[in-house]
Amino acid sequence: MDFRKGKGREDPEINLIPFIDVLLVILIFLMVTTTYSKFTALQITLPTADAEKAMEQPAEINVGVDAQGRYAIDNTQVGAHDAASLADELKSTANARGQAGKDPVIVINADATAAHQSVINVLEAARMAGFDKITFAAQASGKK
């Protein structure tokens, strides 16, 4: 039943331009809000510090490990090949420097191709010697 005689029937048409504009605004809003969502995962207040640079450097013992698994303590090659003898060398080096009571930092300078076991031996020797402050030295790659 068509009561409108003489007039042709027009199909409804959706104008897509305002729809696209709204979607672009929503997309921009979502992009801006999702970049900050990772910072709001936990509500924490970070501590502040007003400390000056330390005047005294901590005592360091440098342990070098080359590609063949040889060890050097403070640029002096040692004949240790296992963790127990390396621990004795670390203790004697600390005693010779007068740092036995101070708990020095063990700095491991390992060759990039050194065996993993050689580095683990240094870590085990430091544990056996009672030194719990250990760090690794690395070279900057130069790539940015």
Q: Which pLDDT band, with edges at 50, 70 and 90, does 102 fall under?
A: confident
> d(Cα 53, Cα 71) in Å, to the nearest integer?
33
Amino acid 99 reads Q
Tell me the pLDDT tens digit for each residue of 45-84. Answer: 555 666 666 667 778 888 998 888 889 998 888 888 899 9
Contact 107, 61 (CB under 8 A): yes
Q: Is the pLDDT of residue 42 over 60?
A: no
Structural domains of the chain in order of their starting residue, each with its CATH number:
60-136 (3.30.420.270)
Q: Which pLDDT band, with edges at 50, 70 and 90, does 19 fall under?
A: very high
> d(Cα 129, Cα 83) in Å, to the nearest integer?
10
Q: Which tokens is 23 given?
A: 């979607």
